[in-house]
Amino acid sequence: MFTILLADLCKQGVSPDPHEAIAIAQQLIHTAAASPSPDNVQLASDGTVTCVGCDVTPAVFEMAILLHTLVPPGTPGVPGGLRYTIARGLLDVEAPPFDSIRELSRALQRFEIGDRRAVVRALLRRLPHARAAVVPLHHRATAAPPPMPREATLRLELRPARADRRWAGAAVAATADRRIARASTRWRRDDRPGSASGSDC
């Protein structure tokens, strides 16, 4: 398991999405985190969130400041209701303040997506080193087959040449046999009585 401070996460170019910021805030609310900030909020690879050196439940204003830091104005994809909830926690709107941190937690629940720890784990998987640790199967290099021994290569190279020589030798022998047979037949024909072409009359 590894851990990383929220500030270091942001330095590596990974900024929490709105629902990820809420998952972080909700865990801090339920684990006691006075004055949470990116410099003391620690995320673990198992999805847990802790506040280093904090042992007191945070105030509404402190948690609203953290959420405002994680999803500042201009962040795309922030629901209007979430922006209003943060502004209400900062006392920036004409609305009754939250009576307690628990009331703020209940107001944030409708903007949550999925299990809080699972959301944090997914956030950490966006780290560059976490992506590099997993290599898809089709990208893995396959080992080249071992080279064939030189003796086997020579045998394969000589085999066709030897076959050609055997076929050539057989063809020459067959041709010689045919010539000998024709010559023998002609000799027997010429050796018979009365086979001369001339006449004594």
CA 23, CA 31: separation in Å to the nearest integer?
A: 12
Question: 50 has which bridge partners?
Answer: 42
pTM: 0.63
Range of the domain at 185: 148-191
Residue 10: band (very low, low, confident or very high) from pLDDT cuts 50, 70, 90: very high
pLDDT in tens, 73-84: 999 999 999 999
pLDDT in tens, 164-173: 555 445 554 5
| Domain-located, residue 103 | yes
Regarding whether 110 and 27 lie in a shared domain, the answer is yes
pLDDT in tens, 57-68: 778 999 999 999
CA 90, CA 72: separation in Å to the nearest integer?
A: 13
| Domain-located, residue 201 | no
What pLDDT, on a 0 to 100 scale, did the predictor assign at position 173? Answer: 53
Regarding whether 164 and 121 lie in a shared domain, the answer is no
Regarding whether 19 and 75 lie in a shared domain, the answer is yes
| Of the residues 133, 165, 181, the one at which a domain ends | 133
| Domain-located, residue 43 | yes
